[in-house]
């Protein structure tokens, strides 16, 4: 059976505890990128819907959510996590329909991690203290945490539910209310998430969803609204610039997780089989549509030829195809616009003198759907656009290096600074290189191994602020210091 003909759901806004259409009844179509079939319609929100959602969120700040005891709020978050797990198969199917990602990925990573995001913060929020200082017998100072207020959550399309819950869980844990703007390409799991929040006991108005686009649409309206106190955004660096301009007028608090062009540095003393097993994932998982993908691979010259030969051979084994076929490792790109953009980079790689070692275009045998072969490119100069710019597809470049100093200079010659992987069995070198790489997240002899207590985020043009554990609470709350004269 053609497993990808299943249909999706119609997506409406969720405002003040109810599903609603746009006032002007406008909708846009949601497409399955794996076969270009229509999945359903999506309510297209704009300023009017954002105004309604922000008003509901502002009102809800002073409702039962404000007086709900911490442990009760924690139980609500835990219940949201439980309900996500109860609906895992349904949510995984919707996520793969929306994104084109393989169902094994949605089922084992995206949705379970969405549930864990809520379970983690349900626990973490009950362990937090603040700070107090005794000023001799003159005064005592103590700090209390208060919610920031109404928070706008603007989400990308690559890991839709994983990233939306990574924001919503701490946002709610800190007592805020939320207006979520999912990416226009991936509306379905966000729509169901709102329903799950209500079922778990989140009071009406605390969680709202408005669908729509970015510029001149719901996204822009959310960033301009004077009653929105903070914006947390994950997406392209260029979009971050636009949002910062829009938010400046009302001086909103901003948290940014932006683009990356992450180095994967492989020294000759590393275990090549271990490196290859992880590098296949860090290069091509989710069709390379992960901000953390190690798309710039640097290999010490002594291991370069062996690595490239084995890497090409393993990459050729990856099955590209129907996201609902369990054998599929590489699904479809998110949509035509992005598909064309990535193919454009492959043409550019050829023009820049790159050698396509495997992949390089659309695989044979697909009449429909936005499929691109996992592609390895060698022979490119360090200043080529394919080495410097984020492609955000199943495309990696491989460059040899001779010394630590040389590879560090190349790695840090970037306006991005999100993450990096370093492969070596030399302990001192691991620490030394990790400390020199200009990135917010460094993995040594691994990749995407996550502890949610750690600071997560990028430096330079890869982000502003950090998410995770206390770092999320630093963003989603305001610390108030109270000084009592004794
Ligand atoms: N650093 C991270 O943790 C992280 C995680 C995932 C994705 N990303 C980055 O996101 C990008 C891919 O995601 P994308 O294509 O959805 O990003 P995008 O910037 O195109 O869109 C992200 C979201 O912003 C909205 N938007 C766009 N323009 C806007 C505007 N002017 N005002 C308000 N909202 C606007 C979109 O509708 C969407 O919901 C890549 O660059 C990737 O590296 C980063
Ligand atoms: O595509 C980007 C992936 C981001 C991952 C996280 O934010 C995370 O693992 O917390």
393 and 414 assigned to the same domain: yes
306 and 232 assigned to the same domain: no
254 and 272 assigned to the same domain: no
Whether 257 is catalytic is: yes
pLDDT tens digits for range 7-31: 789 899 999 999 999 999 999 999 9
Query: CATH number, domain at 336?
Result: 3.40.309.10
269 and 245 assigned to the same domain: no
85 and 153 assigned to the same domain: yes
The CB of 260 under 6 Å from ligand 1? The reply is: yes
294 and 253 assigned to the same domain: no
435 and 479 assigned to the same domain: no
For residue 303, report the distance from its CA to the centre of ligand 2, in Å: 30
Asked if residue 457 belongs to a domain, the reply is: no
Question: ipTM, 2 decimals?
Answer: 0.95
- The active-site residue out of 291, 386, 467, 474 is 291
Whole domain around residue 281: which residue ranges?
Answer: 263-444
Question: How far is it, in rounded angstroms, from Cα 168 to Cα 84?
Answer: 13
So what's the pLDDT on residue 10? 87
Query: CATH number, domain at 246?
Result: 3.40.605.10
Q: How confident is the model at residue 6 (pLDDT cuts 50, 70, 90)?
A: low
For residue 154, report the distance from its CA to the centre of ligand 1, in Å: 8
Place of tokens 């993908």: 293
242 and 211 assigned to the same domain: yes
Residue 310 has pLDDT above 80, yes or no: yes
Whether 11 is catalytic is: no
- Summarize the confidence of residues 63-68 as an average pLDDT: 96
pTM: 0.97
289 and 242 assigned to the same domain: no
Question: How far is it, in rounded angstroms, from Cα 94 to Cα 193?
Answer: 12
So what's the pLDDT on residue 25? 95
Measure the CA angle with vertex 281, ends 276 and 286; round to 5°. Answer: 160
Asked if residue 3 belongs to a domain, the reply is: no
pLDDT tens digits for range 158-199: 999 999 999 999 999 999 999 999 999 999 999 999 999 999
For residue 163, report the distance from its CA to the centre of ligand 2, in Å: 6
pLDDT tens digits for range 358-398: 999 999 999 999 999 999 999 999 999 999 999 999 999 99
User: Given ligand 2 and candidates 165, 169, 235, 257, which is best to mutate, with the most ligand atoms within 8 Å of its CB?
Assistant: 257
- Summarize the confidence of residues 124-141 as an average pLDDT: 97
The CB of 291 under 6 Å from ligand 1? The reply is: yes
CA separation, residue 347 to residues 342, 382, 385 (Å) = 9, 17, 12
- What crossing angle do the helices spanning 188-200 and 88-99 adopt, rounded to 10°? 150
Q: How confident is the model at residue 5 (pLDDT cuts 50, 70, 90)?
A: low
Rg (CA), the chain: 23
Asked if residue 112 belongs to a domain, the reply is: yes
Of 156, 15, 45, 154, which is closest to residue 98 (Cα–Cα)? 156
So what's the pLDDT on residue 7? 77
225 and 268 assigned to the same domain: no
The CB of 398 under 6 Å from ligand 1? The reply is: no
Q: How confident is the model at residue 281 (pLDDT cuts 50, 70, 90)?
A: very high
Any idea which ligand is nearest the CA of 295?
A: 1
Please provide the DSSP assignment of 267-298 as one string. -TTS-HHHHHHHHHHHHHGGGG--TT---EEE
Asked if residue 239 belongs to a domain, the reply is: yes
Q: How confident is the model at residue 1 (pLDDT cuts 50, 70, 90)?
A: very low
pLDDT tens digits for range 69-103: 999 999 999 999 999 999 999 999 999 999 999 99
In the chain, how many domains are there? 2
Asked if residue 294 belongs to a domain, the reply is: yes
196 and 71 assigned to the same domain: yes
Asked if residue 164 belongs to a domain, the reply is: yes
290 and 368 assigned to the same domain: yes
- Summarize the confidence of residues 187-215 as an average pLDDT: 98
């Amino acid at each position: 059976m053609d497993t990808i003909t299943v249909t999706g759901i119609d997506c409406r806004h969720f405002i003040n505890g109810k599903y609603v259409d746009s006032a002007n009844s406008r909708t846009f179509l949601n497409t399955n990128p794996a076969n270009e079939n229509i999945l359903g319609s999506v309510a297209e929100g704009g300023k009017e819907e954002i105004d309604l959602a922000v008003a509901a969120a502002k009102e809800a700040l002073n409702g039962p959510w404000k007086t709900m005891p911490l442990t009760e709020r924690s139980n609500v978050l835990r219940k949201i996590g439980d309900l996500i797990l109860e609906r895992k198969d349904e949510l995984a199917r919707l996520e793969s329909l929306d994104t084109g990602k393989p169902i094994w990925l949605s089922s084992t990573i995206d949705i379970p991690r969405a549930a864990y995001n809520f379970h983690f913060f349900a626990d973490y929020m009950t362990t937090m203290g603040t700070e107090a200082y005794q000023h001799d017998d003159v005064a005592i100072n103590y700090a209390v945490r208060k919610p920031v207020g109404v928070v706008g959550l603007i989400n990308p399309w690559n890991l839709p539910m994983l990233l939306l819950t990574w924001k919503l869980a701490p946002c709610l844990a800190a007592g805020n209310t939320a207006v979520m703007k999912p990416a226009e390409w991936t509306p379905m799991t966000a729509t169901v998430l709102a329903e799950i929040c209500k079922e778990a006991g989140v009071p009406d108005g605390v969680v709202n969803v408005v669908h729509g686009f970015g510029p001149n649409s719901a996204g822009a309206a959310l960033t301009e609204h004077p009653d929105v106190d903070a914006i947390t955004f994950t997406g392209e660096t260029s979009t971050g610039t636009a949002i910062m301009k829009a938010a400046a007028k009302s001086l909103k608090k901003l948290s940014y997780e932006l683009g990356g062009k992450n180095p994967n540095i492989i020294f000759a003393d590393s275990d090549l089989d271990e490196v290859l097993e992880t590098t296949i994932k860090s290069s091509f998982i989710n069709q390379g549509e992960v901000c953390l993908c190690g798309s710039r691979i640097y290999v010490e010259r002594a291991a370069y030829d062996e690595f490239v030969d084995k890497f090409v051979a393993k990459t050729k084994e990856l099955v590209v195809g129907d996201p609902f076929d369990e054998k599929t490792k590489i699904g479809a790109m998110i949509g035509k616009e992005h598909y064309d953009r990535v193919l454009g980079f492959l043409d550019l790689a050829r023009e820049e003198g790159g050698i396509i070692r495997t992949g390089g275009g659309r695989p044979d045998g697909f009449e429909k759907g936005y499929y691109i072969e996992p592609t390895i490119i060698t022979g490119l100069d360090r200043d080529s656009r394919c080495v410097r710019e984020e492609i955000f597809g199943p495309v990696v470049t491989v460059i040899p290096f001779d010394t630590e100093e040389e590879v560090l200079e190349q790695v840090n010659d970037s306006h991005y600074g999100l993450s990096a992987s370093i492969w070596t069995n030399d302990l001192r070198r691991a620490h030394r290189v990790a400390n020199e790489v200009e990135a917010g997240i460094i993995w040594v002899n691994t990749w995407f191994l996550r502890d949610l207590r750690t600071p997560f985020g990028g430096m330079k043009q890869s982000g502003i602020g950090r998410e995770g554990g206390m770092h999320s609470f630093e963003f989603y709350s305001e610390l108030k210091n109270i000084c009592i004269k004794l």
